[in-house]
Structure 1
Amino acid sequence: MAKANESYQFILVESYIPARSSGLHGKIHIRPIDGQGYPTEMHVECSKELSRNYPVGTRFKIKAKITDREGSGDFLYSYFGWPYEVIGHDSGTE
């Protein structure tokens, strides 16, 4: 269910391999970069290109907003067809 009062904004995210993958799909996931007001544990739904076509630790700038699904918590959503910008790579990402 979309949150009506939330607007899309540009957010910096990075790919990573979670320590625990129970209930998650795939090995590589996307999370917000620290310091933007979003928990780094928050899930990000976006184009699979970010996790498939770039090395783990790559950072991106995407347009996203907070939304939720019935029965689960908040997450960041970015339409998979929207453009994104590759910002760089963090070699220290787990």
Structure 2
Amino acid sequence: MAKPNESYQLVLVESYRPNSTSGLHGGVHVRPRHGQGFPSTMHVECSKSLSRNYPVGTVFRIRAKLTDREGSGDFLYSYFGWKYDVVELGKK
């Protein structure tokens, strides 16, 4: 069920390689940075270019909102076509 009362906000996220990819697609994923009120274990649905076109560990500023999917729990959602800012490049 969507959360229609949640608003979009600027969130810092980073790309990372999860220890286990069981049930996940791809080897690189995106998660919220610490200290923003979202757990760093939360998934982020956003443009694949964040995980494909930059080194792992790159920090981005995206516009996202808290939402959920039936049976999956909460996650952050950002429309894939929106612009984002690269805040800090990860190490290659």
**TM-score where L is the length of structure 1:** 0.93
Q: The residue matched to 2:81 in structure 1 has which SS?
A: coil
Aligned-pair identity (%): 70
Alignment-derived partner of residue 13 in structure 2: 13
Q: Which ranges in structure 1 are unaligned for 5 or more consecutive residues?
A: none
CA shift for structure 1 position 89 = 2.9
Which amino acid counterpart does residue 60 of structure 1 have in structure 2?
A: F
Q: The residue matched to 1:82 in structure 2 has which SS?
A: coil
Deviation string, structure 1 residues 46-69 (Cα, Å, up to 9, x no partner): 000000000000000000000011
CA shift for structure 1 position 21 = 0.7
Tell me whether 1:24 sits opposite 2:45 in the alignment. Answer: no
Alignment-derived partner of residue 66 in structure 1: 66
Equivalent-residue separation in structure 1 for 2:2 and 2:63 (angstroms): 15
Q: The residue matched to 1:13 in structure 2 has which SS?
A: strand
Deviation string, structure 1 residues 25-76 (Cα, Å, up to 9, x no partner): 0000000000000000000000000000000000000000000111110000
Q: Is the 8 A contact 2:54 2:90 kept in 1?
A: no
Q: The residue matched to 2:39 in structure 1 has which SS?
A: coil
Q: Which ranges in structure 2 are unaligned for 5 or more consecutive residues?
A: none
**TM-score where L is the length of structure 2:** 0.95
Q: List structure 1 runs of 4+ shifted beyond 4 angstroms.
A: none
Q: The residue matched to 2:37 in structure 1 has which SS?
A: coil
Alignment-derived partner of residue 87 in structure 1: 87
